[in-house]
Structure 1
Amino acid sequence: MNNQSIFEAYPRNDASLLIPLLQNIQTEFGYLPEDQLEKVAEHIGIPLSRVYGVATFYNQFRLKPLGKYVIRVCRGTACHVKGSLDILRILESELGIKAGDTTKDLMFSIETVACIGACSIAPVIVINDEYFGGLTPKSIQKLIKKFKDKG
């Protein structure tokens, strides 16, 4: 579906369509670009501030693109006890970003999650859909180097 057909699928001036329209745009682009939010406001006839209010209220929506490699750091109890905070800090240091951010080259994003459900291999991270457990400060540095080298 292209950008124009997204809007064609929704009647004009119907504010009740805000969330489904935002979901559709995010599916298409991977995030909600600013120019698309402006088009949404105009299309459904509401202020841009209301569009932003909804887009920032729900954590399903992203206003920035994700990196090629999305790193999800488990911060659940088992992972916390086994050192996930240290893993997170090393990731932030190695990549030069904080949790919730994406590197300028769009290679890496870091997110924290409450629980990944792999407590037996704590501390654990997921990079895209691949699990890495039993991490140490040294192993996380090697892992990040491996992904940087992959490009």
Structure 2
Amino acid sequence: ISHGGGINGFSTYALRIPEKNVYVALLSNADGGLAQPSFVAKKAAAAVIGDPFPDMKAVTIEASVLDSLAGVYKIDDKTNRTVRRNENHLLMQRGDRPAVALYPLGGDRFFANNSLVSFQFARNPAGAATDFVMEDDGMEIVQPRIGNLPPVQNAAVSAQ
């Protein structure tokens, strides 16, 4: 059981696991930053119940594999997500928000620092990327590829 929220300079997250007699409440006087309160609270709760989340370790994959995943993916009728290679990892950017670095776990799976969301790309039988898939708290969000990248822009990169 969990809930979070925040406005004007603060954010919160509370989480309860009744069957384990665990309650975590996190209050932050920031509305952004390196780690969201939900991330910190979930990591703390998992450690307390003896089932910690594994540490994510980036692996090296070929630049051509990263390049094959670059493109524009549709979030909804008004918003797209761009994915582009940046050296040995990817940058994803939703609309005009800051870009977030995605690091390879192997295959077409990726992670972002300070996040429990997992990212994966689906491919068609010919090997072309067809979908960007996010998994968060058991919910899978599929975003279809709709095209190639627009010309390069200077994107602010989130420290995440």
TM-score band by shorter chain is: 0.3 to 0.5
- Please identify which structure carries the higher helix content: 1
| TM-score under structure 1 length normalisation | 0.33
- Please identify which structure carries the higher strand content: 2
| TM-score under structure 2 length normalisation | 0.32
Structure possessing the higher relative contact order (Cα contacts under 8 Å, 6 or more residues apart):
1
| Greater Rg over alpha carbons, structure | 1
